[in-house]
Amino acid sequence: MEIHDVSDELDIKVKKYQRGEGADLESLKDKKLKGQLANKEELFKKSANAAAKAEKWLMQTEGGRLEPEGIEKTWRFHQQSIAKEVDVASRKNQFDLVLPDLGPYTLDYTSSGRYMVSAGRKGHLSIIDLHTLKPIKDMQVRETVRDVVFLHNELFFAAAQKKYTYIYNRAGTELHCLKEHGAVLKLQFLRNHFLLSSINKIGQLHYQDITTGQMIGNYRCGLGHSDVLELNPYNSVLTSGHSGGTVSMWKPTSQAPLVKMLCHRGPVTAIAFHPNGHLMATAGMDKKLKIWDLRKNEVIQTLPGFAKSLDFSQKGMLATSTGSFVQVLATSDSQDYSRYMIHTMAKGYQINKILFRPYEDVLGIGHSNGLSSILIPGSGEPNFDSWVANPYETSKQRREKEVRVLLDKLPPEAIMLDPTQIGNLRNTRNKEKPTQQETEAEKAAAIAAAKNVTLKKKTKGRSKPSKVARKKQEGIEQAKRSFVEQHKDDGVLKKKQKRIMDASDLPVALLPFVSRKTT
């Protein structure tokens, strides 16, 4: 009985990794094509079986979700009832930090989800270790802070303050003042490219390399005021939302947007991207929430409601916030999102930003009276890859990872809408050589054109018939000579290529003695 259960479980996992239905080989008459497709189907089957077996050993932790019984609804469960059923380690992730005089707050997590940086509008900056719930650094910069973002690890973070953007280290020491960015409204960090991007009050988009300090790009959006800036994790393309309802996508090596879409009939208030990069959620002042398929640039679902902040979790759940109300949408096998959980803050709390914590079933909330964290079962990835993000990394592992990611840093030119095209070369067609008949016909046409040339009549005996005939003969000889030289150059080029090929066939020890003229 146990063997049967194990085989059934393996079959379910294999179906998850299959690439759709197989080809109908019986209806094919071409034996060669039938054999090729049969080999491909066999390879697909082997890869699905290998992925299913690897999942059993490499991904041992399974993600859970709220499962209602009978007429129960998952969105009727409150945080108090969820906290009573979870373990102690998960229960400590549910907390409220009441800071009424320094808000509203915004926040950001590291890629591993262990550290959180928060910024109050009135100058309060802090870094918290979420494993121990102890503050690492707490400081007051005494001026307006609009946004904050971690850089490549928890040792550095950038804060968009009143006039300029500043970079601080973990100890709170100011390292750099980026005056070129101006009065920044939103910040984003491209981890694979080490680029700090920002958009300021006048609609300027900046890209700056934090490893060299070089300004990679500085463009005017030209679409009006924008305080919405989001990064697509799939291809590192930045997306900005504007007051005219337009959403534009940018890369640092292009002054014009890659894509410009009219998404709403009013200002865009929030944008979020699914981790797979194929889905985009937008919210606008027209009180509509739209989910887009970026592979076709089409709307696949429209929901009513206004949202000031949006965020996708690692498992594809979508969180929206309006006023003091948070709603989490989830999808099953179908593509339609429906209500999964809701949470209402205390009266008077106005939510500024929501953000899912990586590798945890936690949603962080920055609001007007401080910071909150609620439990969303099934939102985080249960299995982490220590090569990508390790929540338990030591200082030695952090140093080694920093060196590794710097060596693997991607150039700005690698940012494009379809990253699978990186490394592919365009197939160059070989220029077809004209046949001998075509060459002879072209030569005869050139000679005939040279014979029919009418020379300008000159005075004082320079237009004698003998001189005119001699000049026409010179034009005919010149037309013939051009074809002869072209044929001669092709022969010399072939001989030269042959000498180079012969030299490449020699042993390595003899290459230094080859004449340089062959290269």
d(CA 483, CA 231): 58
Q: Which residue carries 């004082």 as its tokens?
A: 460
Distance of alpha carbon 262 from its chain centroid, rounded?
21
Count of Cβ atoms closer than 10 Å to residue 194 Cβ: 19
Q: SS3 for 105?
A: strand
pLDDT given at position 519:
43
Round to whole Å and give the CA distance between 165 and 66.
42
pLDDT of residue 422: 74
Residue 445, token pair as written in the block: 């046409």
Q: Model confidence over 278-309: pLDDT tens digits?
A: 999 999 999 999 999 998 889 999 999 999 99
pLDDT at 518: 43
Query: If DSSP states are collapsed to H, E and C, what string results for 16-71?
Result: HHCCCCCCCCCCCCCHHHHHHHHHHHHHHHHHHHHHHHHHHHHCCCCCCCCCCCCC
352: its two tokens? 């500024």
pLDDT at 1: 38
Q: Is 108 helix (H, G, I), strand (E, B) or coil?
A: strand
Bridge partners for 101 per DSSP: none
The confidence score (pLDDT) of residue 334 equals 61
- Report d(CA 231, CA 277) in Å as an integer: 10
Instruction: Determine the pLDDT at residue 223.
Output: 84
Task: Report pTM.
Answer: 0.74
Instruction: Output the CA–CA distances (angstroms, integers) from residue 42 to 23, 24, 46, 220, 309, in the order listed.
Output: 11, 14, 6, 52, 46
What span, in angstroms and rounded, lies between the C-alpha atoms of 277 and 379? 17
Do residues 193 and 210 make contact, with C-beta atoms less than 8 angstroms apart?
A: no
Residue 66 C-alpha from the chain's centroid: 31
Question: Would you state the pLDDT for residue 310?
Answer: 96
42 phi and psi angles, rounded to 5 deg: -70, -40
Give the pairing of strands 195-200 and 204-209. Answer: antiparallel
pLDDT of residue 93: 92
pLDDT value of residue 497: 58
> For residues 378 and 376, what is the distance between their CA atoms, to the nearest angstrom?
6
Query: Mean pLDDT for each 10-residue chunk of the chain (519 residues)?
Result: 55 75 80 87 86 74 80 90 89 92 93 95 95 93 95 95 95 94 94 94 93 92 88 94 93 91 93 93 95 92 94 94 94 81 90 95 95 93 85 91 91 88 63 70 79 71 74 78 64 58 59 56
Predicted confidence at residue 2, as pLDDT, reads 41
> What's the pLDDT at 462?
66
Rounded distance between C-alpha atoms, residue 343 and residue 320, angstroms: 11
The predicted pLDDT at position 206 comes to 95
Please answer whether residues 119 and 159 qualify as being in contact, where contact means their C-beta atoms are separated by less than 8 angstroms.
yes
Rounded Cα–Cα distance for residues 91 and 309 (Å) = 25
Cα angle value 271/273/279 (rounded, 5°): 110
Give SS3 for 358.
coil
In CATH terms, 75-419 corresponds, of 2.130.10.10, 3.30.365.10, 3.40.309.10, 3.40.640.10, to 2.130.10.10
User: What are the phi and psi torsion angles at 437 (to 5°)?
Assistant: -65, -40
pLDDT of amino acid 4: 45
